[in-house]
Structure 1
């Protein structure tokens, strides 16, 4: 059976119809069941699908419930960042179409002085956030005997904190944000050993790595509505960046600000520990399939 079918025309003669003859409203009703990348693909079929794939009613259903709050943050960031909004040189505006808003929110939006970012993931529209180590309180971070800052392309923020040696380690951070309703997972992005490049190759210096196999490192999170989670790991994984799962939390009200606190600590002072890179904390929708997949869970 082909894409066309026979129908009886007004003059009594048989004619042909095809997908291109479908009303855009009918096509839009079908597109509501597709994910954003699929909508963009079927938009190439014909004029009817192309028109329906740009309809506000289709993209409004794909946007987070509090997209106006997120779009306002994105517009403010574009204004602050020299107004380099979309590809045609125009600044992003809250008056944009829903499709344009979705496309803009898929790009990272910095806030808090560039130390934090948020974006929505392209496939499902879930909210993701990343908090730099520069936005956290780290024991002894200002003392070069213990810590140093490394410039690296492996970080979204192009810089990580590298621990050479310390007795007491504690890393604390917090975030106040208006999350769309749903469940979220919190991860610390860590690396054992000092990453560096030589002649284009990624290498890892392990001369400072010690002390992590004696006592587990404890990770914790808490929210302003009294949700709590914790986990413990021996940090023995080497040779690459790992996402250490701290725990999960849930949001029921998309219009309510919530304060999230998170930490990692290893405070057994019977021995020193070192050789750890602290990059950032990631917050993903629960169940989100991570690109790199190097996830450590209990």
Structure 2
């Protein structure tokens, strides 16, 4: 018996909305009779985060985005990060699951001596999603921190934080064959031992990965956001060995995104 001929579209939409975005798209491919139900706003409204409207209202393109159908909005947010919080943070959806992803731009980070032109400079970068990135001119003490509230992340989700950066290889000093410390803390509690990783992909290509437009990413650590309680996760990049100076690092931001999303 073909249940798609018996159940009204509203019931089909409700059933599909209890699955996942990936399953919904797969259902429409396997069973063309479900396509109308799969495309309905009722389905994709369930896949969008509950607070998606308030997030979108922080964007300069909020009117355009909120005029889209729910399915179109979902796929737009999964393919095009939107800038919020005065252009210092980006928001995106993980395409297969609909989980929330954020990137803290360099301006949303705490960078020691970041406002001292002799040490750091701020500039626009055509291939960055943010208006400004931070370029390291010269420091001995490298200390960069970012934080995010767990309540704005998706609950019951395993997240990982990634430093997104570039090295100007012809002008880089202090990173080849040297490591930096990477940490993730929740409410001041370090989740695991500090990671020591070289940011130069020639040293540790298994850890430093390309992500397009010559930007690189390295995992800083991971954490499980169980119930989205009112806590704070802090991420840090630190190297305080003052026996050598460092330069040539460009920081776009720290990205927080779900890890181990099944295929």
Q: In structure 1, how many angstroms separate the alpha carbons of the residues matched to 2:236 and 2:102? A: 16
Q: How many residues align?
A: 246
**1:113/1:37 Cα in 2 relative to 1: closer, same or farther (>3 Å)?**
farther
**1:147/1:111 Cα in 2 relative to 1: closer, same or farther (>3 Å)?**
same
* Secondary structure of the structure 2 residue equivalent to 1:84: helix
Give the equivalent residue in structure 2 for 1:236.
Answer: 200
Contact 1:187 1:244 in 2 (8 A): yes
Contact 1:141 1:147 in 2 (8 A): yes
Deviation of 1:267 after TM superposition, in Å, equals 0.9
Structure showing greater Rg = 1
Match runs of 1:156-167 below 5 Å:
156-167=129-140
**Cα distance per residue 1:167-215 (max 9 Å; x no partner):** 111111222242222110001011111xxxxxxxxxxxx3321112364
Give the equivalent residue in structure 1 for 2:63.
Answer: 84
Q: TM-score, normalised by structure 2?
A: 0.77
**1:227/1:250 Cα in 2 relative to 1: closer, same or farther (>3 Å)?**
farther
More helix by percentage: 2
Give the equivalent residue in structure 2 for 1:218.
Answer: 181
Q: Out of 116, 131, 136, which is 2:104 matched to? A: 131
Contact 1:227 1:249 in 2 (8 A): no
**1:73/1:27 Cα in 2 relative to 1: closer, same or farther (>3 Å)?**
closer
Match runs of 1:185-204 below 5 Å:
185-193=160-168
Structure 1 unaligned spans of 5+: 6-17, 194-205, 290-298
Q: In structure 2, how many angstroms separate the alpha carbons of the residues matched to 1:30 and 1:119? A: 23
* Secondary structure of the structure 1 residue equivalent to 2:115: coil
Give the equivalent residue in structure 1 for 2:84.
Answer: 111
Give the equivalent residue in structure 2 for 1:59.
Answer: 44
Contact 1:164 1:208 in 2 (8 A): no
Higher RCO (CA < 8 A, seq sep 6+): 2
Give the equivalent residue in structure 1 for 2:207.
Answer: none
Give the equivalent residue in structure 2 for 1:39.
Answer: 25
Deviation of 1:117 after TM superposition, in Å, equals 1.6
Structure 2 unaligned spans of 5+: 203-209
Q: In structure 1, how many angstroms separate the alpha carbons of the residues matched to 2:261 and 2:132? A: 25
Q: Out of 139, 146, 168, which is 2:119 matched to? A: 146
RMSD across aligned positions (CA): 3.4
* Secondary structure of the structure 1 residue equivalent to 2:47: coil
* Secondary structure of the structure 1 residue equivalent to 2:58: helix
Q: TM-score, normalised by structure 1?
A: 0.69
